[in-house]
């Protein structure tokens, strides 16, 4: 006889049922019936009686990448294009971690795990997601170029979520978010991964119209696109420092709302 499910098992089941009820399915859900599970989740009760999803503290980035890779979307769901790129970025970070490519690997691991939680939590509850994500979800079934959805997802995740993840990571690990530090240098290395994978994505996700525009504008639009991602991540670092210094309270809440509104505006422009 199999042992009775634990509280953690029940939380995992509730999380996956909640995701499936919203039209997002996980191939890992079938594993919950047996003793071997590919994905482990914890459902955490937050102030006000709501819940959020979280990975256990010892979660590896391999697990995070596998979690995203197991998610499946409807054919007309534009979010899948962002999910695909995000999964590949995470796998490349895993490869560079294994190769010793980061000065403070623990920081990058915790940061990327907490960063992914914010995206997955938005997917879990689209109606209550941050405004930046709701803009993407409201248009997810519109007939728009795949690359636009990929960029809109990146915008929401970088311009809204990344500062939060930096704050949470620094709180968990201690220390600071100084510009002249191994943490910042490691953070900036991700820019190169993003630039390379976005170049690959453009060749695969471009619509015919976008391809014509790319030919007409030449490398200028490539430069602007890379610059925008780089600047967004640079701004996220600054905002992460601000959130961390403010600490919990009304001032931090106001700063986060402002970031969310700005990211939502950019998202609307990307998805016109």
Q: Which one is predicted more confidently, 112 or 47?
A: 112
pTM: predicted TM-score of the whole model, two decimal places: 0.78
- Give the separation between CA 176 and CA 170, rounded to whole angstroms: 7
pLDDT digits (tens, 9 = 90+) for 197-241: 877 776 665 555 455 555 554 543 554 454 478 899 999 999 999
pLDDT digits (tens, 9 = 90+) for 14-71: 433 444 334 344 433 333 333 333 445 554 433 444 445 578 888 999 999 999 999 9
As given in the structure block, the two tokens for residue 137 are: 């979800």
- Helix, strand or coil, per DSSP, at residue 53: strand
Q: Which one is predicted more confidently, 108 or 211?
A: 108
pLDDT for 46 equals 38
Torsions phi, psi for 45 (to 5 deg): -80, 130
pLDDT digits (tens, 9 = 90+) for 169-207: 999 999 999 999 999 999 999 999 988 887 777 666 555
- Helix, strand or coil, per DSSP, at residue 109: helix
């Amino acid at each position: 006889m199999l042992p009775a499910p634990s509280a953690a098992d029940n939380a995992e089941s509730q999380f996956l049922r909640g995701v499936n009820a919203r039209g997002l399915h996980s191939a890992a859900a079938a594993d919950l019936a047996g003793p071997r599970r590919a994905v482990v989740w914890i459902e955490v009760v937050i102030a006000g009686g709501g819940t959020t999803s979280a990975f256990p503290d010892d979660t590896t980035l391999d697990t995070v990448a596998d979690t995203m890779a197991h998610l499946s979307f409807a054919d007309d769901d534009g979010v899948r294009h962002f999910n695909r790129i995000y999964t590949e970025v995470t796998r490349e970070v895993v490869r560079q971690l294994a190769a010793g490519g980061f000065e403070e690997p623990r920081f990058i691991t915790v940061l990327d795990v907490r960063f992914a939680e914010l995206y997955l939590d938005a997917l879990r509850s689209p109606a209550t997601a941050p405004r930046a994500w709701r803009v993407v979800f409201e248009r997810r079934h519109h007939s728009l170029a795949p690359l636009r959805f990929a960029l809109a997802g990146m915008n929401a995740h970088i311009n809204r979520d990344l500062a939060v993840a930096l704050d949470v990571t620094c709180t968990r690990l201690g220390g600071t978010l100084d510009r002249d530090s191994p943490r910042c240098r490691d953070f900036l290395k991700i820019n190169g991964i993003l630039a390379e994978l976005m170049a690959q994505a453009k060749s695969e996700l471009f619509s015919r119209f976008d391809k014509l525009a790319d030919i007409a504008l030449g490398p200028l639009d490539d430069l602007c696109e890379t610059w925008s991602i780089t600047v967004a991540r640079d701004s996220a670092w600054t905002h992460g420092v601000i959130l961390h210094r403010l600490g919990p309270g009304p001032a931090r809440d106001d700063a986060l709302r402002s970031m969310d509104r700005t990211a939502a505006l950019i998202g609307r422009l990307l998805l016109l």
